[in-house]
Amino acid sequence: MAGAIMETQHVRYFLAICDELSFTRAAQKCGIKQPTLSEAIKKMEQAMGGKLFVRALPVRLTKLGFQLQPVCMQINELLENARAMSTLPDKPEVGV
């Protein structure tokens, strides 16, 4: 069903599959079991309203997956930047 929620973890899993071109290796890279990764990608596909991968050997991106890849890369970069900010020392804002 289009409009379902895509979780931030789904972005990381999607990008791991893009890098590894294998659900099994991507699951290992993410430190999860392959069925867990597959279920997350199914939820992401529901949220996006279409298939993201051609599930063959090697795994390939569909047109939708190809279009989504740079967006997910940007999302992942923003999430990493936000995490990095959370490790900065807590200083009061100037003028506050």
Residues 6 or more apart whose Cβ sits within 8 Å of residue 36: 27
* 1: in domain: no
Question: Structure pTM?
Answer: 0.85
pLDDT in tens, 63-86: 999 999 999 999 999 999 988 888
Give the per-residue pLDDT at 4. 66
The CATH number for 13's domain is 1.10.10.10
- Indicate the number of domains in the chain: 1
pLDDT in tens, 3-44: 567 899 999 999 999 999 999 999 999 999 999 999 999 999
CB neighbourhood size of 16 (10 A) = 19
Give the per-residue pLDDT at 83. 87
Distance CA 71, CA 54 (A): 19
CA triplet 74, 85, 11: central angle to 5 degrees? 30
Tokens 């529901």 — which residue? 46
Helix (H) or strand (E) holding 61: strand 60-61
The residue among 2 and 59 whose pLDDT is bigger is 59
* 96: in domain: no
Q: Is the pLDDT of residue 89 over 90?
A: no
* 23: in domain: yes
Give the per-residue pLDDT at 1. 46
* 3: in domain: no
